[in-house]
Amino acid sequence: MIKNVSILILFLIFGCADKTEIEKLPIFGNKEFVEGLDIDTLFHTIPAWSFQNQYGDTINSDSYKGKIHVVDFFFSHCPTICPAMTMNMVKLQKSTKDLNVGFVSFTVDPKKDTSERLLWYQNAFGINGDNWNLLTGNQTLIYQLGVNGFLVPNQEDALAPGGFLHSEKMMLIDEKLRIRGYYDGTDEDQMDVLLNDIKKLKQD
């Protein structure tokens, strides 16, 4: 009987530990192992960036250090997935109003999406600009940031609807500028998963 109780206790201890480990969010991107550092694993982080928002203000990556944020790529005249993505992010923004979460949307068509156009887009979709930056700037730099930083495709494509190819993914970025999740921005059920993962990061 005592032996059985001991086995049960060990099972509960290690079972809980494994469950906790499973629930931790992954860190996406290449890892680099470096000997001699206090932290021996260097994870992929989003590189520095600086662009203009819908108010004409310069916003850079330093604004998001130490802050959980959700990122996507879009363009204002997108005829397919962008409206659904934006509406889902608006709902997510409302659901996280007490969680101190930031939102960032990079346009893949900065030639048309000026700050004035992005402000129009904000008003058209009921976006709260207090914690959501719609960003425009140099097209090449935005594409490079998408591919090399957020690890999602972005490019002009004459065959794509609206002339631009971009990912439907929303990315969850933690306080250390690491990618912690990818979610289908057109899927409302995925927004529930994203909200739950935001809450997990808040508990770390």
- What would the pLDDT profile of 140-172 be if each residue is shown by its tens digit? 999 999 989 999 987 554 334 444 556 899 999
Q: What does the pLDDT read at residue 33? A: 73
Provide the pairing of β-strand 58-60 with 50-52. antiparallel
Kindly report the CATH number assigned to the domain that includes residue 196.
3.40.30.10
- The count of structural domains within the chain is 1
For 174, the token pair is 């933690």
Going by C-alpha positions, the residue among 51, 54, 49, 71 that lies closest to residue 114 is 54
Residue 13 lies in a domain: no
What's the mean pLDDT in 76-91?
A: 93
Domain residues for 168?
41-203
Per-residue burial over 168-198, b = 16 or more CB atoms within 10 Å of its CB, e = otherwise: bbbbbbbeebbbbbbbbbbbeebbeebbebb
Average pLDDT score, the chain: 85
- 51, part of any domain: yes
- Tell me, yes or no, whether 194 lies in a domain: yes
In a domain, 14, yes or no: no
